[in-house]
Amino acid sequence: MLGQGFVSAAAIAASVLFVLSLGGLSNQEKAKRAVWYGIVGMAVAVLFTAFGPGIGNYWLMIPMIAIGSVIGWKVATRVAMTEMPQLVAALHSFVGLAAVFVAWNADLERRRVLAAQALGAGYQEFSAFAALVATKASDELTFLQLEVVFAIFIGAVTFTGSVVAFGKLAGKVDGKPHKLPGGHMLNAGAAAFSLLLAILYLNGAGFWTLLILAALAFFIGWHLIMGIGGADMPVVVSMLNSYSGWAAAAIGFTLSNDLLIVTGALVGSSGAILSYIMCKAMNRNFVSVILGGFGGGTQGPAAEIEGEQVAIDAAGVASSLNNADSVVIVPGYGMAVAQAQNAVSELVRKLRSAGKEVRFAIHPVAGRLPGHMNVLLAEARVPYDIVLEMDEINDDFPKTDVTIVIGSNDIVNPAAQDDPNSPIAGMPVLEVWKSSVVFVCKRGQGTGYSGIENPLFYKENTRMFYGDARESIDSLLSLID
């Protein structure tokens, strides 16, 4: 058993490592080291918390940690990068559900202590948490109840919201937005009823209030995310990440665990900041994101698209690349699905060896997870200095000879600028159509995951390079001079 001093020192060390981890993840060159900071910080946090004062039941805790570690290792080694977004959503759901269970247990312990005190009995046979509750004054117990309410509500919303997000990202749930009749009024009514239950609970009502509160929050989380279209899932995942952080912080206050408070606050605040940045990148209202109020509606019918999609073969694409001086590659989720990043990296190497300027254009919400494309390119050892953000490269498209779009739709859709009735109207996009020639690597003529038509595919300077992205890029490699 370790003393409180050791635990406090470990909490400070782990907190510093978590901050360093978050800071390093903003830079591709430091990202791997930053991940190790996070791993070591979490190991320190778990170890010193598990063997801290007032902790027991090791016969149960140690096997659970071992089982969870093995499962985590197995999942991490089997999940491909294409499945990483839904894995993150699934992990968010675990945090939310854990917050609900811990909050329920905290209130049951509170009730046991109060009952024992009313009878003049001791509470020493209860848990360490019960002993902590017994020392609290009445106003501190009120704050404990507030923490319980907050943890249950945010945790339950996070759980069902993350489950739906997982389903949409994995293709197990329709990616289109769906709402029950009544739409936002149902969510508002459930939230108002939740507030009423919280007031009743704070005024002495029974444990049943927390059960119904959780049920209502489960509904809100499910209905909020069901009402958001698949094209907006990157922002949703980021926002759910923030929710899970605040749920963890609330539980930290409940358990008087400083490290959990710090960790939850870091996750919650960083997730909220990232969501805000992504909302700006998509021209979305931040408050509307939180309330699940975007992703589905339009002001009228979208503009009709004229023309036809013109296909091209590998020889035609290779001919244009051989004659080009400047090339921009725009990766999207289609590249991840086909696992084409290594083939793309080899194509870049050959083009640069031929003296051509090659760069990547990365939209802030490319893929289904913030930073998804950056991770894939880093995995394929693409040089960091040729990977540029949208704002850095958008003005260069008119001077670009060839742009290759690999599995992207919304982030290169001119309807965002030209059609006020488009579901993505006003969203900043990569203006690839201003290049001399645009080649779009795409499996077929469908609208893809988001279900939004793209006029880019019908423009005179666009040619459709149909097929699996990895096979298509591989077919070019032998044709590049």
Q: Are residues 269 and 352 in the same domain?
A: no
Q: Are residues 173 and 186 in the same domain?
A: yes
Structural domains in the chain (count): 3
Last residue of a domain, one of 34, 61, 78: 78
Q: Are residues 437 and 356 in the same domain?
A: yes
**C-beta of residue 251 within 8 angstroms of C-beta of residue 151:** yes
**CA distance linking residue 282 with residue 165, whole number of Å:** 19
Residue of higher predicted confidence among 139 and 69? 69
Is 410 labeled as catalytic in the residue annotation? yes
Identify the pLDDT of residue 123. 55
Q: Are residues 52 and 85 in the same domain?
A: no
| 43 CB-near residues (< 8 Å, 6+ apart) | none
**CA distance linking residue 48 with residue 57, whole number of Å:** 15
Check which CATH number belongs to the domain holding 339 and give it. Answer: 3.40.50.1220
Residue 462 inside a domain? The answer is yes
Q: Are residues 27 and 96 in the same domain?
A: no
Q: Are residues 135 and 174 in the same domain?
A: yes
Q: Are residues 359 and 222 in the same domain?
A: no
| Residue with the two structure tokens 């694409």 | 317
Percent of the chain residues past pLDDT 70, beyond the cut = 89
Residue of higher predicted confidence among 87 and 198? 198
The rounded mean pLDDT for the chain is: 85
Last residue of a domain, one of 35, 56, 78: 78
Domain that holds residue 387: 314-477
| Residue with the two structure tokens 């939850």 | 264
Residue 304 has pLDDT above 80, yes or no: no
Q: Are residues 115 and 92 in the same domain?
A: yes
Q: Are residues 201 and 279 in the same domain?
A: yes
Residue of higher predicted confidence among 344 and 168? 344
pTM (two decimals): 0.79
Identify the pLDDT of residue 121. 61
CA end-to-end span of the chain: 68
**CA distance linking residue 190 with residue 195, whole number of Å:** 9
Catalytic residue among 258, 410, 474, 481: 410
Q: Where are the alpha helices (DSSP H) in 170-285?
A: 184-202, 208-226, 233-255, 258-282
Residue 367's region, left for phi above 0, alpha for psi from -120 to 50, else beta, is: left
Q: Are residues 25 and 38 in the same domain?
A: yes
The region of weakest confidence among 300-314, 375-389, 432-446, 467-481 is 300-314
89-144 pLDDT, tens digit per residue, is 888 899 999 999 999 998 888 888 777 777 766 655 556 666 667 677 777 888 88
Closest CA to 144 of 255, 26, 297: 255
Residue 203 inside a domain? The answer is yes
Residue 205 has pLDDT above 60, yes or no: yes
434-455 pLDDT, tens digit per residue, is 999 999 998 877 656 566 788 9
Closest CA to 436 of 406, 411, 404, 412: 404
Residue 309 inside a domain? The answer is no
